[in-house]
């Protein structure tokens, strides 16, 4: 083999091995009740993915907001699975990342388990839950478990819920 052919092959190999590909995460699963979303993208053997995280975060936040949450956060680590093999091993992977909706509860109704022995469920509105939280915070303040500032922050957060019509 001539030197020029070897150089040409090395050049082509370098180009193939360093091929950057823009990847957009696709929403592949979600649970409104859990406030979770799964996003995935596929990667071929010679691709170097340039994952568009900002686009995925915007899509996740939009979906979470439609469910009543205020935002979304991706977990740092994802999972990978091999989609296709050949004689050299895996040639196509799927990477999946979990996203958690954050912020306000997605429903006006919150169901909690009562302390009765028969396991009867009691439904509390978001307003009733906020009042209970504020009373619990006041008790913690009275026991010197939290500071006045901490209580005030909790109170400021809960007052709009309690005072809403």
Tell me: the pLDDT tens digits for 105-147?
544 444 444 444 555 555 567 888 888 888 988 988 898 888 9
Enumerate residues 6+ apart whose C-beta is below 8 A from 36. Answer: 30, 98, 99, 100, 101
Tell me: the pLDDT tens digits for 45-56?
888 999 999 999
Q: H/E element holding 148?
A: helix 148-163
Q: H/E element holding 22?
A: strand 19-23
| Of residues 152 and 9, more confidently modeled | 152
User: Token pair 């949450």 is at which residue?
Assistant: 69
Nearest to 34 by CA among 94, 114, 107: 107
**Mean pLDDT score of the chain, rounded to an integer?**
82
**Pairs from 85-88 (Cβ < 8 Å, separation ≥ 24):** none
DSSP assignment letter at 116: S
Question: What tokens appear for 111 in the block?
Answer: 């169901």
- Say what the pTM is: 0.55
Question: What tokens appear for 79 in the block?
Answer: 């999972």
Question: What tokens appear for 94 in the block?
Answer: 């799927």
Tell me: the pLDDT tens digits for 1-57?
677 777 766 655 555 555 788 999 999 999 988 899 999 999 998 889 999 999 999
């Amino acid at each position: 083999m001539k030197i020029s052919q070897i150089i040409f092959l090395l050049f082509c190999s370098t180009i193939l091995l360093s091929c950057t590909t823009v990847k957009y995460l696709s929403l592949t699963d979600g649970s409104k009740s859990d406030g979770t979303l799964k996003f995935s993208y596929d990667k071929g053997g010679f691709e170097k993915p340039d994952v568009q995280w900002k686009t995925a975060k915007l899509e996740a936040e939009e979906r979470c907001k439609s469910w009543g949450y205020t935002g979304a956060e991706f977990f740092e680590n994802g999972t990978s699975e091999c989609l296709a093999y050949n004689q050299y091993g895996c040639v196509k992977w799927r990477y999946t990342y979990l996203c958690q909706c954050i912020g306000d509860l997605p429903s006006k109704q919150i169901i909690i388990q009562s302390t009765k022995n028969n396991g009867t469920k009691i439904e509390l509105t978001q307003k009733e839950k906020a009042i209970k939280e504020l009373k619990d915070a006041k008790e913690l303040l009275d026991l010197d478990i939290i500071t006045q500032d901490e209580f005030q922050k909790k109170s400021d957060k809960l007052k709009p819920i309690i005072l809403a019509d």
